[in-house]
Structure 1
């Protein structure tokens, strides 16, 4: 039933209507579904259907978290055909703006909520609940024909990506690299991945050179790097895994004397892929937890079924106790 949602190029224009289509053709029978009216508490594992579960759940935010949330939404709606779940991918900051403005119920985020966003919510008598749902490693990628940039230091990445960078050619990074122009691709400024990368690599959040091709759609970045021998980009690990036949992941050296570490499930999980390993999140409105359909959806998201989907779309699931902590917040 679950389709590989990382292949967003074919569905992105329909992402806002997919929920309605799936809801219309979902399974009308059986008892294997998420939650129901008991989803906010108890020991329900997310596999009992509530026939009267109805409503709409609106989600937007991180393009990195999008594949997980979209996969969960597809499976949840297939067995809860009275619930419509729409999932956008406008970027983490956009997701928080929308939840502050009351436009959505859940924000996908590839960074922690900011103090000022918490304050804006409080001013409207609202708050969000932080739920970590997976681990990700921001992956620096180059074209398959790139035979020189197999590994790079954090300082060299900073030299390339910092504000007002003077790097124009690969040879500006290392003298023995080609005297060819670097074509750069990366997330847009509303992306949590952009914020995390700039803070960890450039030393200051949101400070970056601006002469690169930005996009909130990671498939645009994949296509750009795959189509240019001299290109470099960065995005979530799952998008690299989905496209590794087209791209090469660059191993990262925390400093000049450190070993070069490639992103992988193991190195992201154990934190040795640094400084670009990170948790990713969903943030439901606390007031929305009282709605049975939203409580059921969140319970399903954190259930064993949801954890399986985390891995199916290429991310690294958290320890079981982390999902249990999320579930405890629903009681």
Structure 2
């Protein structure tokens, strides 16, 4: 309770230089709680963490409404760069063209790491011939040159079935797609186009779960939620076959498919006490809540640094 009071007090200090009428209408009701709406959009991969934080935050600030969209990392940055959202969930760092779009609209921001994630490579549970892939095999399947050429399982290994591979993966606006193509194909955004794509990971889960000859990839958390419907495949990192777990992702053993996850907060939003309080709460609780939803927490010292960096950002934008 002491910690919550401290956070709320800090939020009021940050917002003190704002318009008094706005503060009374937006930041405080008769009971002394914060009020307002916080708009978040972006990565479907980061969504489960942000959603978990928002649910817990409601228990301490019930009059703050947190809306969370899932437009994909790229779609989220488009809205963020136009000033339509306060916070952008991202499963990759912001790109140069997105930085330029923010600059064109006088949007400045801070990047904050919140957790680690491993990309899961998945097949249908009835698939009894695959238990691992090499990175080279994944590239052979997913690179642009594979379109219309690499169509069957036995083209990857001769002993595999003479059956079509049915591919599922995130859409091109997804940070997960960008990361996978960079790590596996060697160029971000470069892949074959003849696969079932969706920004909604639940659609991919359903597709793979209903198709014996399917192969797909998405964030580890969605596999964790659907273990009974999917089969997780190990990736040979050049030394050994490794599956993504808390330990293999945090140590980097699950290579090259481990990555950090981010939130971005714009400078205008930190003038709102409810946004400041929410982000402080996020960084304070992201470690525990990321584990609850299937992700891997940062080391404690990195969360401390994120909190220090954010507070400095708040102070510089008063």
Displacement after TM superposition at 1:324 (Å): 1.4
Task: Give TM-score scaled by structure 1 length.
Answer: 0.85
- Between the aligned partners of 1:51 and 1:31, the Cα distance in structure 2 is 15
2:279 alignment counterpart = 298
- Pairs within 5 Å for 1:144-223: 144-165=125-146, 166-223=149-206
- Alpha-carbon distance in 2 for matches of 1:120, 1:62: 18
Partner Cα distance (1:193, 1:201) in 2: 12
- Cα deviation, 1:280-302, whole Å, max 9, x if unaligned, reads 00001023122110000000001
Shift of 1:51: 2.4
Give, in whole Å, the separation in 2 of the partners of 1:40 and 1:261.
Answer: 48
Please give the per-residue CA displacement for 1:112-169, whole angstroms capped at 9, x wherever unaligned.
0112211221222221201000000001001111111100110100110111311111
Check the 8 A contact 1:37/1:293 in 2, yes or no: no
Q: Following TM superposition, by how much is the alpha carbon of 1:214 offset from its aligned partner in structure 2, in angstroms?
A: 0.6
What are the superposed Cα offsets for residues 86-119 of structure 1, whole Å, 9 maximum, x if unpaired?
Answer: 0011100011000001110000000001122112
Q: Is 1:249 matched with 2:232?
A: yes
C-alpha root-mean-square deviation of aligned residues, in Å?
Answer: 1.9
Q: Which residue of 2 aligns with 1:102?
A: 83
Q: Is the 8 A contact 1:62 1:109 kept in 2?
A: yes
Larger Rg: 2
The structure 1 segments of at least 4 consecutive aligned residues displaced by more than 6 Å after TM superposition are none
Q: Structure 2 CA distance, aligned partners of 1:86 and 1:204?
A: 33
Is 1:51 equivalent to 2:32 in the alignment?
yes
- Structure 1 match to 2:113: 132
| Higher helix proportion (structure 1 or 2) | 2
Aligned-partner Cα distance in 2 for 1:230–1:100: 40
1:278-293 equivalences under 5 Å are: 278-293=259-274
Count of matched residue pairs? 293
